[in-house]
Amino acid sequence: MNGVRILVIATFFVFVLMTPVVVASGNDSYYIFDNELQVNEGITIETSIHIEVVEVKRIPLERAKFRITSYQRPERMITVFKEDGPQANRYETYSGASIYLDVIGVYSDSVQFRVSGPSNWRVTDYYDVDPEEGGGEVDEAVTVPKLKITRTLDISSVQQGQTAKVTFKIKNDGNGTASEIELDEPTIKGAYREGCPTTLDDIAAGATERVSYDLKIVDVEPGTYELNPTLLNYKSESGTSYSSESSSNVLVIVAEEVLAPELEIKLTIESDDDVIICGERFSVTVRIDNTGNATTGRITVKSHLPDDVRVAGGEIDPVYESIKPGDYEEYEVTMIAYEPGKHVIKMDVLWADEEASASAEFWAERSGFDKYYIYILAAIPIVLILLWLIKRRREYSF
């Protein structure tokens, strides 16, 4: 019976091969296959994509169930309804190319369907599926492992030089033991995996395995990185190859934090319009902030004042034992500028072998009285003489 069937199919196959495939639709897809297959028959496209008819049903809706396997892709079962249309059922291959399945007609034990895809693809083989090997819904018990892998990272953000712990949770949802499990884990350039296995022990049906390794961030520039999916390749007890993959993860790598104190010094002169009156007192506020991430040691402040600027009150060069990160010290000094002109006050803060400087400048002006002091002095005798003259003139005016 099978021999006859094979003969018929072969004849039909030769006929089909000799018949050029025509693009049937208005779009750019090319019909790689457009014919009828019986249940448990399959075709191979480009030697790597296997499409097998698993089941056909006409009631309530006409449909056919296909098993599709391809390189580096797990097995997939697709049910295609006659009404779905040519573009409804897509299958993406490992290379990224897609093919589409479209059921034209469903019969009692066969289905007419089309496979469209890249124009240079061809059907490279027709074969019959041994119900025992083809899996699917055969009456005999077939053990098929089905591994589901989930990858998690203990932290989503990791500093340079630190380590992230990566954990795989692998669960066998199939009914067969998965063996020869190979774990293909991608990595980030500059990061090194410590204790990451490449093979795993067999996982029985329903069992769950957890595997961890340390991802050490050694020489990776700070930024956001995507950790590509982990690929699991395994085989069933019958030797059939399968694969599954995890979802991708995002890992943020931040710059390595160096613990060191960092001091900033700031001078604020309290004056109107930055103008100081010569001889008058003015306040200068000095604030030292620890903007670093470590507590400082002993801190010394050293001032550099112009010759004609003197301290009138307060300690200008204090010493502090330490300043905690985020904390600050502030003090106020009263000064007097004696000469007019531009003045610059410079102050250094010294800690460990580091130092920071700040300067503030201001204008000193003579007061209104000082400015005209000479003129007033000169005017006084003139005014007195004038007053005297006026007095004398009045005394002699009749």
Partner 1 sequence: MLNILVLGIGQCGNRILDSINSEAFGGNGTFAKYYSNQKFPASVKTIAINTAINDLKGLKYTLAKDRFHVPHLHGVGANRTLGKKVFEDNKELIMGEIDKRGSFDLIFIITSTAGGSGSSFAPRLVEELKAAYNAQIVCIAVLPFREEGSISLQNTAFCIKELIEEKPNGILLVDNQYLKKYAGDIKSAYDKINATTARRLLFLIEALNSEMLMVTDLGDLKTVMNGGVGIGTMGFYESDNGNTVKATILGSFKPSGLLFPANVYTEGARAMLIIKGSKKYLDLDLINKTIEELSTEVGQVFKGVLVKKGPAKVLSLFTLNSIPELDRLYASAAVAIRTEKVKREESKKQLDNAFACIEELEPIY
What is the smallest separation between the CB atom of 398 and partner 1, expressed in angstroms? 5
What is the smallest separation between the CB atom of 377 and partner 1, expressed in angstroms? 21
Cα–Cα separations (whole angstroms), residue 42 to 95, 129, 232:
21, 7, 26
The strands making up 49-57's β-sheet, listed across from edge to edge, are: 73-81, 63-70, 49-57, 41-45, 123-128
Residues 241/233, Cβ–Cβ less than 8 Å = yes
> CA-CA distance, 55 to 81, in Å (whole number)?
12
Per DSSP, the three-state class of 242 is strand
CB nearer partner 1, residue 342 or residue 393: 393
CB-based contacts of 377, cutoff 8 Å, min separation 6: none
Interface of this chain with partner 1, residues 45 to 64, rule: CB under 8 A: none
x/- track of binding to partner 1 for residues 7-26 (CB under 8 A) = --------------------
> CA-CA distance, 224 to 266, in Å (whole number)?
36
Hunting for tokens 């390595």 — which residue is that? 256
Cα three-residue angle 293-296-301, rounded to 5 degrees: 125
CB nearer partner 1, residue 17 or residue 390: 390
CB nearer partner 1, residue 376 or residue 384: 384
What is the smallest separation between the CB atom of 390 and partner 1, expressed in angstroms? 10
Helix (H) or strand (E) holding 233: strand 231-235
Is 396 near partner 1 (CB under 8 A)? Answer: yes
What is the smallest separation between the CB atom of 376 and partner 1, expressed in angstroms? 23
Interface of this chain with partner 1, residues 366 to 395, rule: CB under 8 A: 388-389, 392-395
CB nearer partner 1, residue 380 or residue 389: 389
DSSP string, 284-349: EEEEEEE-SSS----EEEEEE--TTEEEEES-SS-EES---TT-EEEEEEEEEE-S-EEEEEEEEE
Class of residue 307 by CB neighbours under 10 A (exposed 0-12, middle 13-18, buried 19+): exposed
> CA-CA distance, 126 to 111, in Å (whole number)?
15
> CA-CA distance, 254 to 78, in Å (whole number)?
44
What is the smallest separation between the CB atom of 393 and partner 1, expressed in angstroms? 8
CB nearer partner 1, residue 372 or residue 388: 388
CB nearer partner 1, residue 5 or residue 391: 391
CB nearer partner 1, residue 2 or residue 397: 397
x/- track of binding to partner 1 for residues 169-198 (CB under 8 A) = ------------------------------
CB nearer partner 1, residue 375 or residue 398: 398
CB nearer partner 1, residue 189 or residue 393: 393
Question: Backbone phi, then psi, for 13, in 5-degree steps?
Answer: -65, -45
CB nearer partner 1, residue 319 or residue 389: 389
Distance of CA 343 to the CA centre of its chain: 51
What is the smallest separation between the CB atom of 394 and partner 1, expressed in angstroms? 7
Is 397 near partner 1 (CB under 8 A)? Answer: yes
Tally of helices (H runs) and strands (E runs) in the chain: 3, 29
- One of 28, 108, 130, 398 touching partner 1 (CB under 8 A): 398
What is the smallest separation between the CB atom of 387 and partner 1, expressed in angstroms? 12
Residues contacting partner 1: total by CB under 8 A: 9
- The two three-digit tokens of residue 254, written as one number: 């931040």
Is 304 near partner 1 (CB under 8 A)? Answer: no
What is the smallest separation between the CB atom of 375 and partner 1, expressed in angstroms? 24
What is the smallest separation between the CB atom of 396 and partner 1, expressed in angstroms? 6
For the chain, give percent helix, strand, coil, nearest 5. 10, 50, 40
Class of residue 138 by CB neighbours under 10 A (exposed 0-12, middle 13-18, buried 19+): middle
The binding site for partner 1 (CB under 8 A) comprises: 388-389, 392-398
